[in-house]
Structure 1
Amino acid sequence: MEKRWVLASICNDDAVTTIAEQLNIDQSLAQILVQRNICDFDQAKDFFRPDLAHLHNPFLMKDMDVAVERIDVALSNHEKILIYGDYDVDGTTSVALAFSFFSQLTPNIEYYIPDRYLEGYGISTAGIDYAKTNGFSLIIALDCGIKSIDKIDYANSVGIDFIICDHHLPGDELPKAVAVLDPKREDCNYPFKELAGCGIGFKLAQAYAQKHNLPEDSYLQYLDLVMVSIAADIVPVVDENRILAFHGLKKLNTNPCEGLRALMEVSGKTENYTITDVVFTLGPRINAAGRIDHAKHAVAMLLCQVNSNALEQSVDINSKNIERRTYDQDITREALALIGESEVLINRKTTVVFNENWHKGVIGIVASRLTEKYYRPTIVLTKSNGVVAGSCRSVIGFDLYEALSGCAHLLDQYGGHKFAAGLTMQEHNVEALATKFEEIVSASITEELLTPMIRIDAEIELAQIDGKFFRVMAQMGPFGPENMAPIFVTNNVYLAQNAMKVGANHLKINIKQQNSATFECIAFGLADFEELLQLNKPFSVCYTIEENVWREKRRLQMNIKGIKLES
């Protein structure tokens, strides 16, 4: 599918000139900084040198003081505390962080992860019953709970208190927990609204440590876990998240916890991790535990103190990831065939597919693949424990959660955010959901939103790119949502030698301009251009700039995102 190239608008010339002079950097890089609201020297200093001292005061979060006070009471009275979390990466890292921190203060603590298939998402009645049967009087729930109104009422009725640490959008009513920590609640004035669930757990640990004058390392030692959650949960890498991600990456690359160290070993990549590496290397493996078996195994790995134990756990989790890939590939192939065989499905502005035999643990991945293929809001449904479960994905700029809200009368439960969500429903409503979802999306989505877009930060010449240019650009990281790696466009480039197809569908080319060095490029998924690119014909490329390290030798390489032939 051909993509739109959208060049960012030129910023305030005076601000760009000023910051370029103050920092002694290329004008194009200064322009990118201004586009990201970095407009003077002090802002640039904070941006390029993320400082843990600039983390927000955790007590600015609504109910934080109440949560800390309730934990104090629990510790003083030797109450049993249960750390409860979701089964994805954010949930399991949250549980590992909170359990590790509070187990420094009490032995009367356990953790609980619901079974994806038997209990489903969020707070479960089974989890509360487990707590009651085993004498727990306080549950700290992480990355879930903000919509569990009836479950919290049930917990209250059996004498169990809840502290909820969530980052999802609340409904019209908040659960009647002792404390509800969620920056997205309307009455919360916390300055940053986009923490991951593990980030909320980190703020709780930070608040407790600050109140009791515990050493900073009592909670900062878990920055690698927080960073993994930020990467895997696709939250904006700005403000507080960028500080946490920056220092979390530093810890991952120098002194990770034993569980992550072992997982890095079995993945085959042990150093120089970026956010992207975490998303595609560590995240899927941690997720695989809950998708294929039970997420408690991921928590057990993250809690390991001994490398040999962590390695044993990580080898098992890695094998689950291999199994997950097989399910993923098979179901994606079946879903694509289902769409391709239906004139109705192929011509819609949405994709809704259902097969009761698909593996519930991978339908979210399949939904992402279908969205990438057809680029339209997508719901993938399967059957689990007598009900239909679904994973939903959107395209950039379209609010999926709002569209699902219009289908609420057909759903038993749903939750998530603009770009990803989950749901449960009755099977007899599946066809009605497909019709209603198509109706709502068609009425509001534009053709422009249904065409994938490449956002280009700046147009540059190849001669601008040198070691200093790359070093300054690299310091804009860690890159992620709302602070993506800059994408550049360069026009009138030429092949330095013939293009070469590599792998199944990739292209390797060397490009140059007059008065420029030759740059090596890799173009994933663009092998169709092999015959179209000719030695003496100019073309345009948009790309990110990377550093290729091979046998301790470093060289700049371009990762081509798009190619356009000159007319």
Structure 2
Amino acid sequence: MLKTLEKKWKINKALPERFFKEHKNISRIFLQLLFNRTVFSIKDSRKKREEKIRNFLYPSYEDLFDPVGIKDLTKATKRIQQAIKHKEPIAIFGDYDADGVTASSVVYEMFNFFGIKPLVYIPHREKEGYGLNSEAIKRIASKKIKLLVTVDCGIRNFKEIEEANKLGIDVIITDHHEPSSRIPKAFAVINPKRKDCKYQFDQLAGVGVAFKLAQGVIRLFQSKDKGEVFLKWLLDLVAIGTIADCVPLIGENRTLAKFGLIVFSKTRRIGIIELKRRAKNGNGSDLDFFIIPRINAVGRLDHADLAFLLLTTQSKIEAFKIVNRVEDLNIKRREVTDRILKEAREEIESFLDDKNIIILANKDWPSSVLGIVAGRLAEEYKRPVLIVEKGIEFSKGSGRSYKGFDINESLQSMSHLFEKVGGHKQAVGFTYRTKNHEIIKSQLIENTDNVIVGSIEDFYEIDVEIKPEEISPLFYKELQNFAPFGKSNPTPTFLMEKVNITSKRLVGSNNHLKMNLEKNNKKFEGIAFGKGEWDNNLQEGDKVDIIFKIEENKFFGFPSIQLRILDLNLSNG
């Protein structure tokens, strides 16, 4: 039997038969998909299940929770109302990734709505790093700022908040990162993850929290109709930041992203319109693979102020110039990333069998792209990875985990060796004194001695087996009710057995394998991206079991159903 990948196949547990009888108005495939995504529980009453299914497939903007339920939000809105009324100097402190830049833009446009032009301060990734810093606070104070609103940061900046307080600046923190056991002594701290916050949804991205603040302020000032129209036009920004930050696309995130994508398709933002116009193959509407990487590339290789201007400019000439620069930076980002990946792989091969964790450091690897590199290597080598830019005095890097290993907890256990360290189970960023490199490396290797990498089973999770006659343009259209896809709501993966390969050919410089497939007189086009090596092991006429995603191929402008093949086996019998 041909097994093209090391990953095993695991099909989800089938929903008990009685549920299909109780919900005859929903196809078996869709009901199984809903169950797999825990949209409903088998313990739910039939009425409750129907309500949950309806809310998931057809979310309503009006069902978003009242923002005043977030701890300190009302206090913050009243302070902002005072600042607007008295025309106080206001500043926004953001972050350099897509979530932080969109959150900065949301709050900036909220103030613009009232005729206020706040100072926007986004730190330089390399020179300042993440979060508030003392020098930035001093510079902001020198501008006579009386109110500072942070977005996507601040929840652990205790010292910097104290400094701002001493300089007479009221700080409103809006953040979504995990708080520590104590809360900074800011004027207001808006974070749904606070243990004393009773808000109904605590998984918002930074831009989602910023949008909640905007909702609260707008509703405090304005009549509902005018204010709500303004808020809805902010949703394109909310969709970009929410999808970019890989938060679970459930609950409010799903609603914000779904309606945000609708607004994005009609966006009035001149910079985004220009960026979409430049899109290769007409995929400018594809946030994951076109828009978001370019926004992030700016913060990685230049200053994120440029990305902020891209989102907020009112000038077509300026937008044209910005997009030219963004495209150049994105090309450079790909080139730098590819170089580091090549060099890292060469080094890894010399020791891989001896270690359960990969730790690499190099003075020529810019830390701004190391998160991308670490993520790819962790997936490729199936173990935790730390990649470091090694400096003379300080070294800075990123780590990505694999499966169940908590990389943040492992680094936090030796936090005394780091200048800065923070993140979550799957991703971490850090800075340490270079003289500590070897002790950190040896301690991490010791921490993972008992982690048996092979015991973390790697598999493709299959949603459901599907029959060829169940796949149609109408089926694909209805499947889009599950979108947007992302964390906690992945694109469905299907299994079809004993499919005949009627023809095949290599495409894309022989990197991809395109196949014509047939079963039960139903014909399909299939594409296996990056799997050109399969060609030597397959023959026309072979019967194969395939796992795949269903997508729409818009090549040459004529949409058709295409199976994106993830893996395959030669069929038994």
1:512, distance to aligned residue in structure 2 (A): 1.5
Q: Deviations over 1:492-536 (max 9, x none)?
A: 1110124535434221111122x2411101101222221222233
1:390, distance to aligned residue in structure 2 (A): 1.1
Cα distance in 1 for partners of 2:392, 2:62 equals 48
Match of 2:289 among 280, 283, 289: 280
C-alpha contact 1:348 1:438 (8 A) present in aligned 2: yes
Partner amino acid, structure 2, of 1:196: A
Cα distance in 2 for partners of 1:322, 1:510 equals 34
Task: Confirm or deny that 1:118 pairs with 2:124.
Answer: no
Cα distance in 2 for partners of 1:498, 1:359 equals 42
Task: Confirm or deny that 1:3 pairs with 2:7.
Answer: yes
Cα distance in 1 for partners of 2:245, 2:149 equals 20
- Structure 1 window deviating more from structure 2 (248-257 vs 374-383): it is 248-257
- Structure 1 window deviating more from structure 2 (459-468 vs 243-252): it is 459-468
C-alpha contact 1:355 1:382 (8 A) present in aligned 2: yes
Match of 2:389 among 369, 377, 382: 382
Partner amino acid, structure 2, of 1:365: I
| Percent of aligned positions that are identical | 34
1:272, distance to aligned residue in structure 2 (A): 7.3
Task: Confirm or deny that 1:35 pairs with 2:36.
Answer: yes
Q: 1:272 to 1:245 in 2, by over 3 A?
A: same
Task: Confirm or deny that 1:179 pairs with 2:185.
Answer: no
1:187-198 counterparts in 2 under 5 A?
A: 187-198=196-207
Match of 1:566 in 2: 571
C-alpha contact 2:59 2:255 (8 A) present in aligned 1: yes
C-alpha contact 1:460 1:489 (8 A) present in aligned 2: yes
Partner amino acid, structure 2, of 1:246: K
Q: Deviations over 1:150-203 (max 9, x none)?
A: 111111121112111111111122111111111111111111111110111000
Task: Confirm or deny that 1:431 pairs with 2:435.
Answer: no
C-alpha contact 2:466 2:496 (8 A) present in aligned 1: yes
- Structure 1 window deviating more from structure 2 (173-182 vs 550-559): it is 550-559
TM-score by length of 1: 0.94
Task: Confirm or deny that 1:265 pairs with 2:282.
Answer: no
Match of 2:43 in 1: none
Cα distance in 2 for partners of 1:112, 1:346 equals 46
Q: Deviations over 1:470-503 (max 9, x none)?
A: 2221211111111111000111111012453543
Match of 2:25 in 1: 22
Cα distance in 2 for partners of 1:279, 1:385 equals 36
Match of 1:370 in 2: 377
Cα distance in 2 for partners of 1:216, 1:366 equals 41
1:308, distance to aligned residue in structure 2 (A): 2.9
Task: Confirm or deny that 1:532 pairs with 2:537.
Answer: yes
Q: 1:526 to 1:108 in 2, by over 3 A?
A: closer
Partner amino acid, structure 1, of 2:358: T
1:265-414 counterparts in 2 under 5 A?
A: 265-268=277-280, 273=285, 277-340=286-349, 342-343=350-351, 345-383=352-390, 386-414=393-421
Match of 1:13 among 6, 17, 23: 17
C-alpha contact 2:504 2:514 (8 A) present in aligned 1: no
Task: Confirm or deny that 1:523 pairs with 2:535.
Answer: no
C-alpha contact 1:78 1:108 (8 A) present in aligned 2: no
Match of 2:479 in 1: 473
Task: Confirm or deny that 1:250 pairs with 2:262.
Answer: yes
Match of 2:238 in 1: 226
Q: Deviations over 1:523-561 (max 9, x none)?
A: 012222212222333221100000112344221000011
C-alpha contact 1:117 1:384 (8 A) present in aligned 2: no
Q: Secondary structure at the match of 1:93?
A: helix
C-alpha contact 1:17 1:30 (8 A) present in aligned 2: no
Unaligned runs of 5+ in 2: 41-48
Match of 1:82 in 2: 91
- Structure 1 window deviating more from structure 2 (47-56 vs 264-273): it is 264-273
Match of 1:419 in 2: 426
1:213, distance to aligned residue in structure 2 (A): 3.0
Cα distance in 1 for partners of 2:117, 2:272 equals 26
Q: Secondary structure at the match of 1:208?
A: helix
1:346, distance to aligned residue in structure 2 (A): 4.4
Cα distance in 1 for partners of 2:186, 2:391 equals 29
1:444, distance to aligned residue in structure 2 (A): 4.8
Cα distance in 2 for partners of 1:193, 1:453 equals 30
Cα distance in 2 for partners of 1:126, 1:202 equals 28
C-alpha contact 1:267 1:318 (8 A) present in aligned 2: no
Cα distance in 1 for partners of 2:281, 2:107 equals 27
1:112, distance to aligned residue in structure 2 (A): 0.5
Cα distance in 1 for partners of 2:238, 2:537 equals 45
Q: Secondary structure at the match of 1:530?
A: helix
1:270, distance to aligned residue in structure 2 (A): 5.1
Cα distance in 1 for partners of 2:393, 2:121 equals 24
Task: Confirm or deny that 1:68 pairs with 2:77.
Answer: yes
Match of 1:492 in 2: 498
C-alpha contact 2:386 2:398 (8 A) present in aligned 1: yes
How many residue pairs end up in the alignment? 557
Match of 2:44 in 1: none
Match of 1:482 among 458, 465, 488: 488
Cα distance in 1 for partners of 2:261, 2:443 equals 43
Cα distance in 1 for partners of 2:413, 2:266 equals 48
Cα distance in 2 for partners of 1:188, 1:67 equals 15
Cα distance in 1 for partners of 2:508, 2:327 equals 27
C-alpha contact 1:227 1:244 (8 A) present in aligned 2: yes
Unaligned runs of 5+ in 1: none
